[in-house]
Chains A and B, each alone.
Chain A
Amino acid sequence: MTRLPQNPSKVKLGLVIDLDICVGCHACAVNCKEWNTSGKMAPLTDIDPYGAKPDGVWFNRIHTYEAVDEVAGTSRTVHFPRSCLHCDDAPCVTVCPTGASYKREEDGIVLINTDICIGCKLCSWACPYGAREYDEDEGVMKKCTLCVDKIYNENLPPESRVPACVSTCPAGARSFGDLGDPDSDVSKLVAARDGYALMPEQGTKPVNRYLPPRPKKVGDAVAPRLLEHHDDSNDGAGLLARWVDKVLSA
C-alpha cells in the first residue's frame, strides 16, 4: 500500500547529522555500502567498477560545499553527507504505482520491496533529495534502509544496533534515534543545537535533522606560535656537545 500510514505510530526513527563535526572522510558511505550490499536491499550493484566510468548504487553520498559571505569576507567549508531523510510526507511513497515503496507504520522507515518494484523510476523523480538510486542491473530502485536489518538485529550486541553509518563515523558526527519523542537524546540534541530540516519548502516533512556548523570564533583565534629563534653559536652548550660540534665541523 503506497498510501502513507493511516495510523502512524509516534516513533520516527531517523538520523541527526552534525555538520560541525563531519570531516568529510566518506567512512559512513563506505560502511553503508559494505553493510547494505548484503542487507535487505542487496546488492548495491557496481557497474564498470574498475573501468573508466565507474558507476553504482550508494545510499549515502558526501558532498563538500563552501558558503561564502562576500560582504563580511568570510567563508565556511562544510562536508555534507546526503542520504534518505525518511520523510513523514514522503512523495516517493505516494507516487509509486505498485506498492513497492512504503513507509513503515511502526517506526516511519521508508523502504522498497524490490520483489514487486517495476523500475519505473517515478519515486526517484519525486524525491527532492536524490536519496533513491536505480539499480541498472536488477532493474529496480534502491535506497537507504536506515539499516533496518541492523538496528533490530538481536544477533548483535545492543550497542551495535545502530545504522552502519552511525557506528562507523570516526568523528561521531552521526546520531540515530527516535525523533518523534521530544525527550530522546537525538531530539534534545536537535533542540540544543538548532537542528534543521533540508528544503522544508518541498513539503516532504523530513525526519532527519542537520546540525549547523557552530559559529566561527572570531578575535580570540591565535595562529600557532613560531619556534623561538635558534642561536647557532654553541656558547652555553655542554662540554660534550661542544666537542661533538668541533669534530663534526672539522
Chain B
Amino acid sequence: MHPAKSVIYFTTASGAGYGLMVWLAVMGAFGFLPADRTFGIIGFGLAFFLIISGLLSSTGHLGRPERAWRALSQWRSSWLSREGVSAILTFGPTGLYALGWVVLGQNAGLVGLIGLVGALMCLITVYFTSMIYASLKAIPAWRNRWTSLGYLLMALMSGALIMLALQAVFGLGLITVTIKISVALLGLSGVLKLAYWRAIQTDPPRSTAESATGLGRFGMVRMIESPHGEDNYLLKEMGYKVARKHAGKLRRIALVTGFILPMAMVAAIMVLGLPYVAALSFLALISAGIGLVVERWLFFAEAKHVVTLYYGNSKV
C-alpha cells in the first residue's frame, strides 16, 4: 500500500498524544504525579497538540477535506466513522480533566475519575483507528491478530516516553514508576512487532492469482498483458513495491531505533542514576520517534493488497 505521509503522521502522532493523555490520567489519578499547573499546561498542551494535529493531518489525504464532517455519520458500520465520533467524544472528559488539573489544581478524586474515563476513551479511539486497518480483509497484512494490539501498545509506549521526558525536565512525580512502565512497554511492543513480521511472512496466503481469476483449473496463472501501459490509480495506491526491496534493512532499523535503543537508554537511567535522566529520556524519545515512523511506514508499504493478484502477483 502507498504510505501516505499524512496517514503516517496521523497514526503515530495521535497515538502518542492519546498515550500521553492516558499516562497523565493514570499517574494523576493514582497519586504518582502532583497537579502542578505548569506541568499540566505543557503536558496537556502537548497531548492535545499531538492528537489534534494528527486528526487534522488525517483529513489531509482526503480528496474533499471540506466535507470531512460527513465522515461522522456512518458509525453503525464504518470503523473510520466510529474513530471520528470517538475522537470527538473523547475531548469531553479529557478536556474536563485538563481543566480540573490546570484550573482547579486537582487531578485526584472526582477529577481523577473523569481523567480515567477519558483515558479509557483514548484507548477506545486508538483501537478504532487500528480497526480501520485491521478490518480490511483484502489486505491480509493488516487483518492480522497483532495489528490492534500493536497500535495500542505503541501508543502507550510513545506516550510513556513523552511522560518520562516531561517528568525529567520538571523533576516531578514518581519517575521510577514511569521508567518501569516504559521499559515494559518497549519490551512488549518490540516483541509484538517481531511476532507481527513473523506472521505476515509465514501466514498462508489468503488468495492467489488462480482464485482471483478462477483459472486455476487450467494451471498456474500469470498475466501476459496488462489492461494499460502506464500505472493507474490501483497500481499507484495498492501496488507499492519500494519497501519490499529494503524490508529486511528497514525492519532492523525500526527494531533497533524504535525499541532496543530506547529500552537500553531508559534502563540505563536506573543504573546510572537520576542525574542522567533528562538526557537519556530525551535521547530515548527521539530514537523511539524515529523508529516508530519507520515502523509505521513499513506497516503501510509492506502490506500487499489482493488486487495485485490481477496485475502479476501470484499470492497474497
Enumerate chain B interface residues (CB-CB to A < 8 A).
Answer: 1, 61-65, 67-68, 70-74, 76-81, 84, 132, 135-139, 206-207, 209, 211-228, 230-234, 237-238, 305-307, 310-311
Contacts and interface: CB of A to CB of B under 8 A. Distances in A.
A138 B78 contact: no
A212 B78 contact: no
A69 B222 CA distance: 11
29 contacts: A58-B232, A63-B223, A63-B225, A67-B218, A69-B220, A70-B219, A74-B219, A77-B224, A82-B227, A95-B135, A97-B71, A97-B80, A99-B74, A116-B70, A118-B64, A118-B67, A118-B70, A124-B234, A125-B1, A126-B137, A128-B137, A128-B306, A133-B233, A135-B63, A139-B64, A196-B214, A202-B138, A202-B206, A212-B217
A97 B81 contact: yes
Interface residues of A, number: 73
Interface centre among A57, A97, A119 (most CB of B within 10 A): A97
Contacts of A99: 70, 73-74
Contact of B211 (A3, A57, A201): A201
Interface in A107-145: 116-122, 124-130, 133-136, 138-141
A24 to B, nearest CB: 8
B3 to A, nearest CB: 13
A124 B221 contact: no
Main secondary structure of the interface of B (DSSP, over half): mixed
A13 interface: no
Given A58-B228, A74-B218, 12 more contacts: A29-B227, A57-B233, A58-B232, A65-B209, A65-B213, A80-B215, A94-B77, A97-B71, A118-B67, A128-B307, A133-B232, A199-B207
B74 A1 contact: yes
Given A128-B306, A130-B234, A203-B137, A98 B73 contact: yes
A54 B222 CA distance: 25
A213 B218 contact: yes
A14 B165 CA distance: 60
A10 interface: no
A118 B63 contact: yes
Contacts of B73: 97-99
Contacts of A75: 218-219
